[in-house]
Amino acid sequence: MKNWIAAALLLCPFTALAAEPSAGTVGNEMNPSISLILDAVGAYFSNERGFRQGGHAPTRSGPSLQGAELAMSASVDPWFRVDAAFEMSHLHLEEIFLTTTSLPFSLQLRAGQFKSHAGRLNATHPHQWHFVTQPLANEFIFGAEGITLPGAEISWLAPLPWYLEIKGSLQTGSAGVFRTRSIADGDPGFRDFLYPLRLVQFFDISDDWALQVGASGVFGPSDQGPESGNRAQAFGVDLFLKWRPIGAGTTGHTFVAWTAETWVRQMEVPDDLWTDLGATGDVVFGISKRWETALRLELWRRLAGAMSETRARYGLNAFRVAANVGFLPSHFSRIRLQYQIENIETYNSGHVLMLQVEVSAGAHGAHAY
Amino acid sequence: MKPFSAIIAVTILLLAGTNGWCAIRVVSTIPDFSDLAAQVGGKRVSVTALVRPTQDPHFLDAKPSFLLSLHQADILLYTGMELEEGWLPPLLQGSRNRAIQRGGAGNVDCSRFIEPMDVRAPDRAMGDIHPGGNPHYWTDPRNGLRIATGIRDTLCRLDGAHCDEYHRNAAAFEKKLNAKMKEWKADLKPVAGKRVYVYHESWVYFLDFAELVQAGAIEPRPGVPPPPSHAASLIARAREEHIHLILQESWYPISTSRLIAQKAKVRLAVLPTMVGAAGTENYIQLIDAIVREVIK
């Protein structure tokens, strides 16, 4: 056996030698990269007493600040990196977490307070969205701020010829239909935490075409009666297909990207089990370096369980269409005009017009696919 | 016991992330670095480039498939000076590969091997200016040689057992490139001192080699598309300043450059900048193609 192992190591003497640090790097590595991201919006609601989203969405006609984020990131040492996002408009720490860079067995750990991977959107910040507002399904299931909670996440990159990654986290707190019971009800056990899980695969169909498919599940105590053992769970599937020609004579700024995401949510409440379905589909067209446009359709439906005033707080039957056009003076600024028509039960249908300005100053980092 | 130990041995190989009979896996952002690594590393390296030769290296999607290549890489060669800042960092972080993280043995910022030009304070009011200097340095063959030498030293540091071989390969490449540089210099002599426009400020290093003078850029500031007023002023100036040529890469919009070329009666040259574009198969062919177009 020893001979086999020695032979394996000897075949690759290079890998055994590759631990010496490189001669040096350029750049100001001791200071965190800092960026300031501002999202401001002017909105018009045709129905002043109509439906309003929470979180970063505007809630009344007139100007409002959607977000003013101070983001920082830095390498801690050869093994850790730290990222933080402080939301200055609401004076709260959105995220601060460390990420390991070199765990064995293709593992990676995040720990701290972070946006978990549940579907494509939950882990993102508003300036990464293709629309002014987040989808209704995300808000109805994970709340206005999404699952942004303290905890730890482990992810594993499968040793396969294509990209397949599994991510799972344990988090504590309150997000949408999930809530860890109060400490007053006793020390939390494993059943008291939220468990967002995600499996995502990516297929590089060609230089111009790419497909990503994901499946997510979130399990945890229900916001309605966690101390009585009520549970909530959400299952989602998502698909992202992008065409972006990069051959000779193309700018690379023309693209079409299609996203489809569907969620089924179950929530135990005293004496009932609520089941709901949410679906979102959008298409984003990159016209040129400076112009892009997008269209989104959304649906939310009750599937089982009785309607009540309490249930209305966790979602209403809804159909919403949004269309927008964005102008990007540079890579670091965007002006976006969005029109939204919505038909949401208990509210009259309404129209919303939003003009958003978004700027990113400083060493704002890149985003994941 | 034997099958079990064989499984362990195979597992060690897999965990070490090896393939191709343990060739040193070099992943580069732009294909030019891959070609230079292949020239120096010969059969001891396998090379993969993430950027396609006709693609703007500033704006790539951080495709998760790239992450797989990086996960298995022994060496990452990148341009640096924040050229890849818009897409490489999340891939590097997701790669879970310590060897190629910043400070790691295989993390090679090729800008360390060259003398930077256009070093300016990074003020975004002046456009998308890269800290540390202009990152489009690889089209100057003198820099090609410097990068090849840097790659040689990196390979020697990581794989000392074959250092002599890397030195031999690098010396052979240097000899070829030096001979070609003499030819290119002679070919470019008739255009030396002539004034040119560029679309993006990505030609300063090549222009320095060719002894051409950049008299203006079609982008009013780096990364900012030209308004009609700027194009009009370039047309007016082109007549007065005897502009010889307009240079641009294939991924920039061509309509403004074409308009200026037509109105000012200046030749527009859409040039390859990365190995693989315009039918080129290696670095020397790439510079050959650029020089041919410039002296046409």
Residue type, A163: Y
pLDDT digits (tens, 9 = 90+) for A115-153: 999 999 999 999 999 999 999 999 999 999 999 999 999
Q: Does domain B190-295 have CATH number 3.40.50.1980?
A: yes
- pLDDT band of A186, cuts 50, 70, 90: confident
* Chain-chain contact of A101 with B96 (C-beta, under 8 angstroms): yes
- pLDDT band of A369, cuts 50, 70, 90: confident
- pLDDT band of A161, cuts 50, 70, 90: very high
Q: What is the mean pLDDT of residues B119-148?
A: 87
**How high is the pLDDT of residue A368?**
77
Give, in degrees to the nearest 5, the angle at Cα B165 between B163 and B167: 70
User: Which residues, 6 or more positions from A329, have their beta carbon under 8 angstroms from its beta carbon?
Assistant: A290, A335, B224
Topology of the domain comprising A33-362: Porin (2.40.160)
Edge-to-edge strands, sheet with B107-109: B45-49, B24-28, B75-78, B107-109
Distance from CA of A240 to the nearest CA of B (A): 12
**How high is the pLDDT of residue A12?**
53
**How high is the pLDDT of residue A125?**
93
pLDDT digits (tens, 9 = 90+) for A51-88: 899 889 999 999 999 999 999 999 898 899 999 999 99
User: Which residues, 6 or more positions from B258, have their beta carbon under 8 angstroms from its beta carbon?
Assistant: B268
**How high is the pLDDT of residue B71?**
95
User: Which residues, 6 or more positions from A28, have their beta carbon under 8 angstroms from its beta carbon?
Assistant: none
Give, in degrees to the nearest 5, the angle at Cα B183 between B182 and B184: 95
- pLDDT band of A2, cuts 50, 70, 90: very low
Q: What is the mean pLDDT of residues A346-365?
A: 89
* A248 → chain B, closest CA residue: B54
Distance CA A332, CA B224 (A): 11
Distance CA B125, CA B123 (A): 5
Distance from CA of A196 to the nearest CA of B (A): 19
Distance from CA of B244 to the nearest CA of A (A): 23
Residue type, A292: E
- A164's enclosing H/E stretch is strand A163-171
In chain A, what residues touch B8 (CB-CB under 8 Å)?
Answer: 1, 4-5, 8
Candidates A196, A219, A220; CA nearest to A120 is: A196
- The end-to-end CA distance of chain A, in Å, is 43
Phi-psi region of B61 (alpha: psi -120 to 50; beta: other; left: phi over 0): beta
* Chain-chain contact of B253 with A251 (C-beta, under 8 angstroms): yes
pLDDT of B28 higher than 60: yes
**How high is the pLDDT of residue A248?**
83
**How high is the pLDDT of residue A3?**
52
Do the domains B190-295 and B12-182 match in fold? yes
- pLDDT band of A32, cuts 50, 70, 90: confident
* Chain-chain contact of A250 with B54 (C-beta, under 8 angstroms): yes
pLDDT of A9 higher than 90: no
Q: What is the mean pLDDT of residues B153-158?
A: 97
* Chain-chain contact of B104 with A22 (C-beta, under 8 angstroms): yes
**How high is the pLDDT of residue B120?**
79
Candidates A59, A20, A365, A188; CA nearest to B105 is: A20
* B76 → chain A, closest CA residue: A22
In eight-state DSSP terms, residue A238 is: E
Share of chain B above pLDDT 70, in %: 93
**How high is the pLDDT of residue B11?**
56
**How high is the pLDDT of residue A238?**
98
pLDDT of A112 higher than 90: yes
pLDDT digits (tens, 9 = 90+) for A89-110: 888 899 999 999 989 999 999 9
* Chain-chain contact of A366 with B62 (C-beta, under 8 angstroms): yes
- pLDDT band of A303, cuts 50, 70, 90: very high
In chain B, what residues touch A366 (CB-CB under 8 Å)?
Answer: 62, 85-90
Distance from CA of A38 to the nearest CA of B (A): 16
* Chain-chain contact of A102 with B96 (C-beta, under 8 angstroms): yes
CATH architecture of B12-182: 3-Layer(aba) Sandwich (3.40)
Residue type, A346: T
User: Which residues, 6 or more positions from B249, have their beta carbon under 8 angstroms from its beta carbon?
Assistant: B56, B199, B200, B202, B270, B271, B272, B273
pLDDT of A237 higher than 70: yes
E-strand ranges in chain B read: 24-28, 45-49, 75-78, 107-109, 195-198, 213-217, 243-249, 267-271, 275-278
Share of chain A above pLDDT 90, in %: 75
* Chain-chain contact of A212 with B111 (C-beta, under 8 angstroms): no
* Chain-chain contact of B104 with A246 (C-beta, under 8 angstroms): no
Average pLDDT for chain B: 91
In chain B, what residues touch A3 (CB-CB under 8 Å)?
Answer: 5
Q: Tell me which residue in A18, A103, A163 faces B68 most closely, judged by beta carbons.
A: A163
Q: What percentage of chain B's residues is helix, strand, coil (to nearest 5)?
A: 50, 15, 35
User: How do the domains of chain B map onto residue ranges?
Assistant: 12-182, 190-295
**How high is the pLDDT of residue B1?**
45
pLDDT digits (tens, 9 = 90+) for B162-210: 999 999 999 999 999 999 999 999 999 999 999 999 999 999 999 999 9
Share of chain B above pLDDT 90, in %: 80
Strands A80-87 and A33-45: unpaired
pLDDT digits (tens, 9 = 90+) for B105-115: 999 999 999 99
- B207's enclosing H/E stretch is helix B204-210
pLDDT of B19 higher than 50: no
**How high is the pLDDT of residue B62?**
93
* A107 → chain B, closest CA residue: B96
- B101's enclosing H/E stretch is none
- pLDDT band of A187, cuts 50, 70, 90: confident
